[in-house]
Structure 1
């Protein structure tokens, strides 16, 4: 992944951290913008087009969770890596659930952060380059539209989070193919370690609940025991 010319926004209230990021990205000739509080950071993120946002969680005036949620809900196609000293598993899960593309805890090594930036941007571009053709499963009254992140059941919109949609869409675009949880973490979140595999199970559970709640009788997200998940409208198995 070539970082040359990439537009990156850093929303971080620690000037030292920004200086470190600026120094480590200098050889890559990126366009770097710095905002030191949540409100100005969100305004900048929504008013300009960025390839990537490096987002702290504990910020003055508006926290990183709310910023991430508002950016993703706005429809902006911007990759987000959350930078934080909060290393608890629940914080990581929350960040990923509201749409963050990766999560790096402080202190971090420059080499690690550069690797994660490249991985997220590469995966993000691959996702955007996937077919935007609407997926229509008329046999189960389900429609998936990658171009605008919408899902319809019997003509009614189902509200999925960005990551829920990306997971459902990815599996649907690879119908009948079985993916391990580790593979899904890599494709959707770009993790380099796989300690968060239960994130996949939680997302699948919520997607199933939302589809069923919307009246979908045949839930196409199938568990392949001992392996992972696949999207299939055939030979349905009872959810656990």
Structure 2
């Protein structure tokens, strides 16, 4: 049984993380677990889960801060907050964090699965509505800037944040050749040091996803020794 949905569990108690992982995996979800708050944003730069189960109390960056930041950077990812303190529930609901739901510890694994299914159903319905609202266009790929989505014939290609950034930069200047260094500047705004092979790796994944959605079109082209460009015609 597969739900075609990847989940991220952020929980620093190994026993609880393992319990949620085992139960959700057995229900067909692809699950990743992280145990430290500082690991979450770097992981999300290269992965695009449908939903995050996010513990409030974490080493490093806490869950409330993470929830706000994830909402700003990746607004389409669903978030369920997990808390051990019942008195925190009112605070969670009172804060405009943007979480989709919350679960109180101790919880039953069945409750977790039920909440995950319900939140994913709501998210899917919202995504379908957003797609239906997209204007008709002749462009092979369109961008939904608010949702950080690239759409091929109205269907989400499923890009990571970094892949979306790369595509958006090139689409803003069709036909212009971007060097790997120029693309790196747009990928990582914190001036981290990455190799040119990192750019090639992201481009390779981006092209693979576009090819799967548009098998007869090559819209990102390599210019040998120079870089890459977005050019859908011809």
TM-score w.r.t. structure 2 length? 0.53
1:42 aligned onto 2:41: yes
Please give the alpha-carbon distance, in whole angstroms, between the structure 2 residues aligned to 1:31 and 1:18: 14
5+ residue gaps, structure 1, are: 135-145, 150-240
1:6 aligned onto 2:11: no
* Map of 1:111 onto structure 2: 110
* Map of 1:148 onto structure 2: 146
Q: For 1:1-240, list aligned pairs within 5 A.
A: 4-88=3-87, 89-94=89-94, 97-131=96-130, 133=133, 148=146
5+ residue gaps, structure 2, are: 135-143, 148-234
* Map of 2:214 onto structure 1: none
Would you say the 8 A contact 2:75–2:146 is kept in 1? no
Q: What's the offset of the Cα at 1:103?
A: 0.4
Q: What's the offset of the Cα at 1:37?
A: 0.5
Q: What's the offset of the Cα at 1:91?
A: 2.2
CA distance 1:23–1:131, change in 2 (3 Å): closer
Q: What's the offset of the Cα at 1:148?
A: 1.9
Please give the alpha-carbon distance, in whole angstroms, between the structure 2 residues aligned to 1:69 and 1:3: 30
CA distance 1:129–1:72, change in 2 (3 Å): same
Q: What's the offset of the Cα at 1:76?
A: 4.0
CA distance 1:131–1:53, change in 2 (3 Å): closer
CA distance 1:121–1:3, change in 2 (3 Å): farther
* Map of 1:186 onto structure 2: none
**Number of residue pairs matched by the alignment:** 137
Q: Please list the CA deviations of residues 88-120 of structure 1 after superposition, one character each: whole Å capped at 9, or x if unmatched.
A: 24322145x211010000000111111100000
Would you say the 8 A contact 1:55–1:81 is kept in 2? yes
Please give the alpha-carbon distance, in whole angstroms, between the structure 2 residues aligned to 1:32 and 1:91: 28
Would you say the 8 A contact 1:46–1:71 is kept in 2? no
Please give the alpha-carbon distance, in whole angstroms, between the structure 2 residues aligned to 1:11 and 1:106: 14
Please give the alpha-carbon distance, in whole angstroms, between the structure 2 residues aligned to 1:128 and 1:70: 21
Q: What's the offset of the Cα at 1:147?
A: 6.2
Q: Please list the CA deviations of residues 22-80 of structure 1 after superposition, one character each: whole Å capped at 9, or x if unmatched.
A: 22123223211111110102321343100110100100110001111111101341111
Question: Could you say what secondary structure the match of 1:73 adopts?
Answer: helix
Please give the alpha-carbon distance, in whole angstroms, between the structure 2 residues aligned to 1:75 and 1:51: 10
Please give the alpha-carbon distance, in whole angstroms, between the structure 2 residues aligned to 1:104 and 1:63: 16
